[in-house]
Homo-oligomer: A and B are copies of this chain.
Amino acid sequence: MAVQTVASTTDSAKTVDLGPAAALSCRECGHRVPLGPVFACEECFGPLEIAYDFSAYDAEELRKQIEAGPANIWRYAPLLPVPADVADKPNLNPGWTKLVKADNLARELGVTGGLYVKDDSGNPTHSFKDRVVAQALEAARAFGFTTLSCSSTGNLAGAVGAAAARAGFRSCVFIPHDLEQGKIVMAAVYGGDLVGIEGNYDDVNRFCSELIGDPAGEGWGFVNVNLRPYYAEGSKTLAYEICEQLGWQLPDQIVVPIASGSQLTKIDKGLQELIKLGLVEDKPYKIFGAQAEGCSPVSTAFKAGQDVVRPQKPNTIAKSLAIGNPADGPYVLDIARRTGGSVEDVNDEQVVDAIKILARTEGIFAETAGGVTVGVTKKLIENGVLDPTKTTVVLNTGDGLKTLDAVAGTGLTATIRPNLDSFREAGLA
């Protein structure tokens, strides 16, 4: 794909090659600006997102091109804000994770229409964050940044550290200084700078915003701040993969975890793109959002029939979803209502139970976020909200090895002496 000059509303037109990405567009007022490391609309402070030019695509040619592509997210490069030769650049090549036909879990939950788990624990650093960081990395290359940064309390720190290491970027990741030692190790091992901030996660975020506006932050790409419009697009690849793995079909129902809400909105965007491009047949689908009860601002608003999401102080073991003031909450409410889905929450005990059910039935050890989606799926079926006769996809976005504490109560069935009598006494034969 040739380098394109982006039409600009300002005098300083920039030349960047981010493939089909044509401009940034305000989600609220539609104001367009050239591609750049900005995230808020200069007119109304609304969130900017990528506007694409897909006009030249032919459905059959595009489908063939995708199917002949690599077994990672770059098979969808024509639909992402990345240059056409992205697969040749050093990166972690995430994605194309397994869509597991979960027949045992389906029997347990009473699903007859086909139940699938999209298992993103198979990504390089074992969470879906590798998908979004990979997009931010390409934007960072395009804008000439040399340091990759973020604020994080877990999965994102490792994903940024690993991606930067392989791509030859410096990384500098900011975390609350009192994180558990295990999480610090998982992020520090990649050798970038890992800076503990004396304060909580809000303090870390505030400091990062300050750093972006300061000369000290020049040349720094904060994947989830000034590169956020690019970063967020990575979640579209979950929608693309699910549909392609279903044989280029939309699922009837999909259950997605909600942290900031960005992932759910981008999955919807991805499904809409596939319909418009003619890669899947248009038919109704329902998107369900899943939260932990201890951080359920969106499900609370959904159940109350409100459009406004009231912030909460998180208190749940599902820490990767513990965003009390989710930026995309109102958009999630729109999508759940528009598609006929809903937003539901489960308590920590139900999260742990669901982790164990998934492990016991399918051999998949999920992070707490996966416990939230499986638990919510179970609850939605019991409440008659989710239709068990329809094709349903449940997302597991992380790996149980990262949240071992959640199932720390799991242990030995029995302890015996090393002889057959002791074995028989324990009733295990």
Q: Chain A interface (Cβ within 8 Å of chain B)?
A: 71, 90, 92-93, 96, 98, 103-104, 122, 124-126, 158, 161-166, 168, 172, 177, 181-182, 184-186, 188-191, 193-199, 203-204, 206-207, 210-211, 214, 216, 355-356, 359-365, 399-402, 404, 407-408, 410-420, 423-424, 426, 428-429
Please give me the residue from chain B that is nearest to A424 by CB atom.
Answer: B216
A216 / chain B contacts, CB cutoff of 8 Å: 420, 423-424, 429
A70 CB to nearest B CB, Å: 11
Task: Find out whether the CB atom of B191 lies under 8 angstroms from the CB atom of A408.
Answer: no
Task: Find out whether the CB atom of A198 lies under 8 angstroms from the CB atom of B416.
Answer: yes
Given contacts A206-B418, A210-B420, whether A413 and B194 have CB atoms under 8 Å apart is yes
Task: Find out whether the CB atom of B203 lies under 8 angstroms from the CB atom of A404.
Answer: no
Pairs A–B under 8 Å by Cβ, sample size 7: A104-B166, A163-B363, A189-B407, A195-B423, A197-B417, A197-B418, A199-B417
A3 CB to nearest B CB, Å: 25
A97 CB to nearest B CB, Å: 10
Task: Find out whether the CB atom of A418 lies under 8 angstroms from the CB atom of B359.
Answer: no
Task: Find out whether the CB atom of B363 lies under 8 angstroms from the CB atom of A417.
Answer: no
A356 / chain B contacts, CB cutoff of 8 Å: 189, 191
Task: Find out whether the CB atom of A359 lies under 8 angstroms from the CB atom of B214.
Answer: no
The CA-CA distance from A204 to B418 in the complex, in Å, is 7
Task: Find out whether the CB atom of B365 lies under 8 angstroms from the CB atom of A412.
Answer: no
Task: Find out whether the CB atom of B189 lies under 8 angstroms from the CB atom of A400.
Answer: yes
Task: Find out whether the CB atom of B416 lies under 8 angstroms from the CB atom of A195.
Answer: yes
Task: Find out whether the CB atom of B211 lies under 8 angstroms from the CB atom of A423.
Answer: yes
Task: Find out whether the CB atom of B404 lies under 8 angstroms from the CB atom of A185.
Answer: yes
The CA-CA distance from A359 to B185 in the complex, in Å, is 12
Contact with A165, one of B93, B361, B428 (Cβ below 8 angstroms): B361
Task: Find out whether the CB atom of B363 lies under 8 angstroms from the CB atom of A185.
Answer: no
Q: Quick one: copies of this chain in the complex?
A: 2
A407 / chain B contacts, CB cutoff of 8 Å: 185, 189
The CA-CA distance from A364 to B123 in the complex, in Å, is 11
Task: Find out whether the CB atom of A177 lies under 8 angstroms from the CB atom of B363.
Answer: no
Please give me the residue from chain B that is nearest to A163 by CB atom.
Answer: B363
A365 / chain B contacts, CB cutoff of 8 Å: 125, 158, 162, 186, 189-190
A140 CB to nearest B CB, Å: 15
A103 CB to nearest B CB, Å: 7
The 4 closest A-B pairs by CB, nearest first: A191-B360, A162-B363, A166-B363, A196-B415
A164 / chain B contacts, CB cutoff of 8 Å: 363
The CA-CA distance from A321 to B124 in the complex, in Å, is 23
The CA-CA distance from A360 to B192 in the complex, in Å, is 8
A364 / chain B contacts, CB cutoff of 8 Å: 124, 162
Contact with A189, one of B162, B195, B197, B410 (Cβ below 8 angstroms): B410
A168 / chain B contacts, CB cutoff of 8 Å: 104
Interface centre among A71, A359, A399 (most CB of B within 10 A): A359
A184 CB to nearest B CB, Å: 6
A162 / chain B contacts, CB cutoff of 8 Å: 359, 363-365
Please give me the residue from chain B that is nearest to A195 by CB atom.
Answer: B414
Please give me the residue from chain B that is nearest to A215 by CB atom.
Answer: B429
A216 CB to nearest B CB, Å: 4
Given contacts A93-B98, A404-B185, A420-B214, whether A415 and B195 have CB atoms under 8 Å apart is yes
The CA-CA distance from A189 to B198 in the complex, in Å, is 35
Please give me the residue from chain B that is nearest to A130 by CB atom.
Answer: B363
A185 / chain B contacts, CB cutoff of 8 Å: 404, 407-408, 410-411
Given contacts A359-B162, A363-B161, A412-B196, whether A207 and B418 have CB atoms under 8 Å apart is yes
Task: Find out whether the CB atom of A362 lies under 8 angstroms from the CB atom of B166.
Answer: yes
Task: Find out whether the CB atom of A428 lies under 8 angstroms from the CB atom of B188.
Answer: no
The CA-CA distance from A93 to B418 in the complex, in Å, is 34
Interface centre among A162, A206, A360, A412 (most CB of B within 10 A): A412
The CA-CA distance from A7 to B209 in the complex, in Å, is 74
A355 / chain B contacts, CB cutoff of 8 Å: 189
The CA-CA distance from A162 to B363 in the complex, in Å, is 4
The CA-CA distance from A412 to B186 in the complex, in Å, is 11
A125 / chain B contacts, CB cutoff of 8 Å: 363, 365
